[in-house]
Structures are given as structure tokens and as C-alpha cells.
Amino acid sequence: MLSPESLRRIDREIAKYPAEHKQSAVMAALIVAQDEKGWLATETMDFVAQYLGMAPVAVYEVASFYNMYNLEPAGQYKLTVCTCLPCGLQGSLDAADHLKARLGVDFGETTADGRFTLKEGECMGACAMAPVVLVNNKKMHDYMSNAKLDALLDELRKR
Amino acid sequence: MLDYGPDAILMAGLDGANWRLADYEKRGGYEALRKLLADQVPPERVIAEVKKSALRGRGGAGFPTGLKWSFMPRQFPGAKYMVCNSDEGEPGTCKDRDLLRYNPHSVIEGMIIAGYATGSTAGYNYIHGEIWALYEQFEEAIEEARRAGYLGRDILGSAFSFEVYAHPGFGAYICGEETGLLESIEGKKGQPRFKPPFPASFGLYGKPTTVNNTETFAAVPWIMRHGGDAFLNLGRPNNGGTKLFSVTGHVARPGNYEVRLGTPFARLLEMAGGTRAGKRLKAVIPGGSSMPVLPADVMLATDMDYDSIAKAGSMLGSGAVIVMDETTCMVRALERLSYFYFEESCGQCTPCREGTGWLYRVVHRIETGRGRAEDLALLDNVSDNIAGRTICALGDAAALPVKSFLKHFRHEFEHHIEHRSCLVSGPDSEPKWGRAGAHLPPAMARAA
Ligand SMILES: Cc1cc2nc3c(=O)[nH]c(=O)nc-3n(C[C@H](O)[C@H](O)[C@H](O)COP(=O)(O)O)c2cc1C
Ligand code: FES
């Protein structure tokens, strides 16, 4: 269900915790699974549950509690913009408006070509470097002026 | 060179690339640990030194660190844990990111020393998911320390064994609360536990556990090298040392600044370049979004330490200083804060789960020109029904800002309601600083 490379990564996480607490690796295992599959289908979560010896419902609970798991297919690039007060004061709300206009979507929507999903995010611990945009959960871009946003979109489109 | 200010000790000598073990050792890193182990310093003496330093928790509550460590049961057989809280997600706070990015070994050494002092067997650093690159870098740093013999069995030939591991968060502010964090490491939803029992008696996997903030751990090696008195003397009685402040909002140079506790706010503001050109300071939240807002004149007369800020009517919290100038609409500002707590309530306690939604909906309708005459009384009432009635402090964190905004800037809310327009920036139909977020999520549009 998951690639040998993904399973190796998960095994490395399991080794961090006492043998009787394999469940502690569930967050990391779901991250690895999402990296490989793009989102967490029920079969994927069931596989993780079986691999860690957990009840499937316990895995669903975790996947739905934490904001960064994709419980449905997302665009090729998920862009998350922090819209909290400190970032807002430093222009991130305007940056979000710019992205909405450029992509023609609102928060929580995906562009028609399936390329981009735009998401409203909460503090990412990078407030002084606002506006902050997270690409596919893992790559953070900071100080995002409109020009840098445009450059980012162009670069992602070219990939 | 990275410049955190002339008083920096935690962030001194950093150039942005010298985070590796060899660089850290060149700066005197791991000397404190070597000395402790070579001299077989009794663990109680380490705790006494940290108590003397008046180091207080940098994560929000400001609890004395040495005292917290002394709660760990000494005779307890088997596993005991030291947990580092790098879940940094309190709006305005971005200092732990810099520590992990530029000086991760100071955190690792701090965790090892804390482990030694409390007889712990392993440590976990909970790193929030949004800084994935730093999670990977921290794992590299752990590996470096392990290879050099600072981690693992019989560290540096002593009888002390200790491991450190990184654990990833993945987008839940509530996991910054220490018992929510422990649940999360156990592989569950991060819903805070009822206390007591406190983590020192029933923590991770039910074992004695201490949770400290990243910056708290980072201060420990310096204290052991230079002595508790030296650290204390950098700050003020009961407020030892330097502190990293994340200054954000309407300043010329948003960023992290490390200053001695007790430094006047005006000086910190100056380090951050002052307010933007020609604009007057209006208000400041001195300790992260969960703390009460204070008007400019109060802040300008306040020093940046735990006790001074408490006396001024707020809290130092996580050291996130959110600066707002005269162009800020306080209704819009509170709307942003309330949205955050509504989104991040874990849903466990009814007053918080329902109350944060009420607060957001009511502030939002005032902001968008649909406020009602009774709304301010309603906000007061809802806040009072959340604060103090929840398992963890997220409820208070949602309620306190509301109370303080209404206390100091009530007239702006009244103006919004009476005139359907903004005192600061004109008609409400055009939301301030961008339209983003000024829409209702679909489910709430129906409820509002
Ligand atoms: C809702 C909530 C969020 C919190 N977030 C954090 C956080 O991101 N980082 C942190 O160190 N402490 C956070 N805390 C405080 C922790 O519960 C705990 O007091 C702290 O980690 C203890 O470390 P310290 O004594 O070194 O400050 C939070 C508390 C609450 C109630
Ligand atoms: S408030 Fe936006 S990253 Fe912290």
C-alpha cells in the first residue's frame, strides 16, 4: 500500500518511541503517507492503522484533528497563507487578496486546472517575516510581496 | 552576522550558517555538560543553580524553571521524560524558529542538562509542522551530538544515559498546551488533560515528565557555564536573564530582538526601528495574541519583564510584541484574533467550543457594519462564561483579548455599531487591510 521507501521512513519514526507505544509514530506515518499519495484516502489510513496496530478510527481521529492533513484530494500545489493579526498588520491579508485575484479562487477552493489549492492558515511561527506562504505544507516562503508571489506562481506553473 | 542586539547571549556569534556541532563547540558549546559530568556535580546542585538564576519559562506562563524541575520525583524507577515545546504557534511569536534554525545545539545541550538534573531517560522535541526544514535539520543536529558522544549510553564515559528525538506537529495550536502536546506525542488528538495530576507525576505515557519551552532550554547551558548569579544579574530580581522578543506589526524592522529583562519598551521599539514613518503608536499586545492589549501611553511607561508588564495590566507571555499604529482599526484587529481562537479551539470544553464561535461571529458582524446595540454586553457576557471554565487556558486566551479591547477601545466598537462606519478608516463596507478573512465560512454565514 505504501512504497518500501515510505515504510523505511515510518520504521525510522517508530524506533523513536518505546516498543509498546508504536502509536506515537502515527502523526509522522500519516505525513509520510500524504507525501507519497498527495492525500489521505480511507484505504491509506486503514493501512497505517494496520501497520501501527491501531484501530482505524483512532487514525481517522488524528488525521481529522490536525489541520495540515489533506482528507480529500488537493491541487498539485496547496498554498497556505497566514491571516492572523500580526501577519495581517504586515500585509498578509493583501497578499491573500492578490493570490485570490491571480488564481480566481477563494480560500478552500482549487483552480479549475487542478494546479493550486488556496488555504487560509493560522500562525506558522514566522510572523516577523510576513507575508508567509506555505507550499504543500513543507516549503515556507517569507516576505512575500506581490512581485514575489507572482514569481512563485510562475515558477510552480513551470514545474 | 545576525544582529539580535548588543545584549544577546543566546543568539550571540551567529552568522546564519554556523549551526553545526563544530561551530557550537567553538562558541563554548557542550563545555557546561562536559564539566558537569567530569566533576560529577550532584543533580540537586544543577537545580539549585537554575533556581538562583531566576530563569522563568519562556513559553507563556513564566513559571520558575528550577522549581518546576524540582517537582520531578527523584526516586521514581524507570522512564522519565524531558519534553521541549517547539510548537510555537501563538500569533506574533517567531523566536523558537530562529533558535532551532541558527542555534539548535543550545537546545539539545539544555535538554541533556535538564535530563541530568531530573534523572530523565529521554527527551522529545515537539516541532510544529510548518517548519519542516527545521525538523529535518534538528534531526541532523541530534545525529551530530550522538556521534560525538553527547547522547546515548554512558555519555562521555559517565554513568548518565540520555536520548533526544524530534516529534512532528502538523497544524494544531492547542498542542502548544503542554498536556495537549503530551497527548499528541502519544499519537492521539491533542486535547489537553485535566490537571491535577500534573506532568511531573503523570506525564508522557503516564511517566514523570517536564515540559519546557525551546528558549528555556537554550538558556540552561549559559547558566551552567557562567553561573546562576551572572544570569540573574543580566535581568532583574525574579526576572533573570535576557529574553527574545518577537516584534511584529507596524514597526520599521519586524524581527527578533534579545534584550535584558527590564529593558524599557521604548528601547525595544527603537531597536525594531520605531513605528512606521510618521505614524503614532496606538496600542501594543506585549506577550502574544492571548494577552491583554495595552494603550500606547501605558506601554511607553513600561519595562519588559514579567513583573512590570503584569503591573501594567497584561502579561509577558511568550514575548511576542504586536505593535499597532494609529491607522489600526481595533475592531478589525480583534476580529482577526477572535477568528484564530474560533479556528483553534479543540472542541473539548463546551464554553470554549461554543463561546469562541460566538465571539468571532459577533465581532465579525460589528466589523462588517451589522452590529447590534446589545452586542457589547453580549461580548462581555460570553467572555465571562468562557474564562476560567475550561480545562486549559485556551479559553482564557480567547476571552482576555476581548475584555481588554473593550476596556481600552470601547468607543471604536460603539462607533462601528451606531454609525455603521469605522472611526479609523472610513466605511465598513471596505474591510481594512485586505478583504481576506472578512468573509464568513459557509457554515457560519447561515448561523450569523
Ligand atoms: C493554548 C496554549 C498554547 C500554548 N502554546 C505554547 C507554545 O506554542 N509553546 C510553548 O512553549 N508553550 C506554550 N504554551 C504553554 C505551555 O502549556 C507550557 O506552559 C510551557 O510549554 C512550559 O514551558 P516553560 O515553563 O519553559 O515556559 C501554551 C499554552 C496554552 C494554554
Ligand atoms: S501570525 Fe502569521 S506566522 Fe505568526
Q: Are residues A59 and A97 in the same domain?
A: no
Give the number of the ligand closest to the Cα of residue B60: 1
- What the block records as the C-alpha cell of B25 is 563547540
In whole angstroms, give the CA distance from residue A52 to residue B292.
Answer: 44
The interaxial angle of helices B214-226 and B95-102, nearest 10 deg, is: 60
Burial class (CB in 10 A: 0-12, 13-18, 19+), A111: middle
Q: How many CB atoms lie within 10 A of CB B366?
A: 26
- Does the distance separating the beta carbons of A67 and B171 come in below 8 Å? yes
Within-domain flag for A92: yes
The residue assigned the cell 515545546 is B85
Report the separation in Å between the CA atom of A123 and the middle of ligand 2, taken as the mean of its atom positions.
Answer: 4
In whole angstroms, give the CA distance from residue B165 to residue B342.
Answer: 32
According to DSSP, residue B88 is labeled -
Q: Which has the closest alpha carbon to B259: B27, B66, B17, B3? A: B3
How is the beta sheet containing B209-213 ordered, strand by strand? B163-168, B122-127, B81-86, B209-213
Q: Are residues A27 and A83 in the same domain?
A: no
- Which of A31, A65, A99 is the last residue in one of the domains? A65
- Whether A118 has a pLDDT exceeding 80, the answer reads yes
Please give the number of the atom of ligand 1 that sits closest to the Cα of B397: 1
3-state secondary structure of A139: strand
In whole angstroms, give the CA distance from residue A27 to residue B187.
Answer: 6
* Stated pTM of the model: 0.96
Burial class (CB in 10 A: 0-12, 13-18, 19+), B392: buried
Instruction: Give the tens place of pLDDT for each residue, B242-262.
Output: 999 999 999 999 999 999 999
Q: Which has the closest alpha carbon to A64: B348, B166, B188, B357? A: B188
Q: Are residues A90 and A146 in the same domain?
A: yes
> What's the average model confidence in pLDDT over A72-92?
95
Q: How far is CA B318 from CA B85, B132, B299, in A?
A: 12, 22, 17
Residue whose Cα lies nearest atom 10 of ligand 1: it is B59
Query: Which amino acid appears at position B224 of this protein?
Result: M
Nearest CA in chain B to A82: B91
Report the separation in Å between the CA atom of B242 and the middle of ligand 1, taken as the mean of its atom positions.
Answer: 19
**What is the domain extent for residue A26?**
4-65
- Does the distance separating the beta carbons of A138 and B94 come in below 8 Å? no
> What's the average model confidence in pLDDT over A119-127?
96
Q: Are residues A57 and A19 in the same domain?
A: yes
Do B262 and B284 contact (CB within 8 A), yes or no?
no
- CATH number of the domain residue A117 falls in: 3.40.30.10
Q: Which has the closest alpha carbon to B118: B197, B220, B43, B214? A: B43
Q: How many CB atoms lie within 10 A of CB A152?
A: 18
Give the number of the ligand closest to the Cα of residue B58: 1
In whole angstroms, give the CA distance from residue A46 to residue A50.
Answer: 6
- Which of A21, A42, A65 is the last residue in one of the domains? A65
Q: Is the CB of A140 under 6 A from ligand 2?
A: no
Higher pLDDT, A1 or B185: B185
Do B389 and B395 contact (CB within 8 A), yes or no?
yes
Do B331 and B299 contact (CB within 8 A), yes or no?
no
Q: What one-character-per-residue DSSP string does B119-154 give?
A: T-SEEEEEE-GGGHHHHHHHHHHHHHHHHTTSSBSS
The residue ranges of chain B whose pLDDT is under 70 are: 426-448
Residue from B70, B90, B100, B246 whose mutation best tests the ligand 1 pocket (most atoms within 8 A of CB): B90
Within-domain flag for A139: yes
Q: Are residues A143 and A88 in the same domain?
A: yes
Q: Are residues A19 and A57 in the same domain?
A: yes
Q: Are residues A46 and A22 in the same domain?
A: yes
Q: Are residues A85 and A147 in the same domain?
A: yes
Do A125 and B97 contact (CB within 8 A), yes or no?
yes
- What the block records as the C-alpha cell of B24 is 557550537
Do A122 and A67 contact (CB within 8 A), yes or no?
yes
Report the separation in Å between the CA atom of A69 and the middle of ligand 2, taken as the mean of its atom positions.
Answer: 19
Q: How many CB atoms lie within 10 A of CB A40?
A: 21
Tell me what pLDDT residue B90 has.
Answer: 96
Q: How many CB atoms lie within 10 A of CB B196?
A: 9
Question: How far away is chain A from the Cα of B192, in angstroms, using its nearest Cα?
Answer: 13
Q: Are residues A85 and A46 in the same domain?
A: no
Backbone angles phi, psi at A80, to 5 degrees: -115, 125
Do B59 and B216 contact (CB within 8 A), yes or no?
yes
In whole angstroms, give the CA distance from residue A89 to residue A124.
Answer: 15
- What the block records as the C-alpha cell of B429 is 463596507
Tell me what pLDDT residue B445 has.
Answer: 38
- What the block records as the C-alpha cell of B197 is 495530576
Instruction: Give the tens place of pLDDT for each residue, B114-163.
Output: 999 999 999 999 999 999 999 999 999 999 999 999 999 999 999 999 99
Burial class (CB in 10 A: 0-12, 13-18, 19+), A102: middle
Within-domain flag for A72: no
Count of domains forming chain A:
2
Within-domain flag for A70: no
Query: Which amino acid appears at position A32 of this protein?
Result: V
Asked whether the CA dihedral A68, A69, A72, A73 is positive or negative, the reply is positive
- What the block records as the C-alpha cell of A33 is 503517507
Question: How far away is chain A from the Cα of B66, in angstroms, using its nearest Cα?
Answer: 27
Within-domain flag for A71: no
- Does the distance separating the beta carbons of B170 and A69 come in below 8 Å? yes
Beta strands in B276-392 (DSSP E): 281-285, 294-295, 303-304, 320-325
Burial class (CB in 10 A: 0-12, 13-18, 19+), B104: buried
- CATH number of the domain residue A23 falls in: 1.10.10
- Which of A16, A37, A65 is the last residue in one of the domains? A65
Question: How far away is chain B from the Cα of A133, in angstroms, using its nearest Cα?
Answer: 10
Tell me what pLDDT residue B424 has.
Answer: 85
Burial class (CB in 10 A: 0-12, 13-18, 19+), B267: middle
Within-domain flag for A84: yes
Q: Give chain B positions within 8 Å (CB) of A120.
A: 436-437
Within-domain flag for A109: yes
Q: Which has the closest alpha carbon to B10: B319, B430, B413, B277? A: B319
In whole angstroms, give the CA distance from residue B344 to residue B160.
Answer: 40
- The pocket around ligand 1, CB under 6 angstroms, is made up of B 57-61, 63, 85, 87-90, 174, 176-178, 211-213, 216, 392-394, 397
Query: Which amino acid appears at position B445 of this protein?
Result: A
Q: Are residues A56 and A100 in the same domain?
A: no
How is the beta sheet containing B281-285 ordered, strand by strand? B255-260, B242-249, B320-325, B281-285, B294-295
Q: Are residues A58 and A82 in the same domain?
A: no
Question: How far away is chain B from the Cα of A36, in angstroms, using its nearest Cα?
Answer: 16
Q: Are residues A61 and A81 in the same domain?
A: no
In whole angstroms, give the CA distance from residue A151 to residue A28.
Answer: 32
Within-domain flag for A51: yes
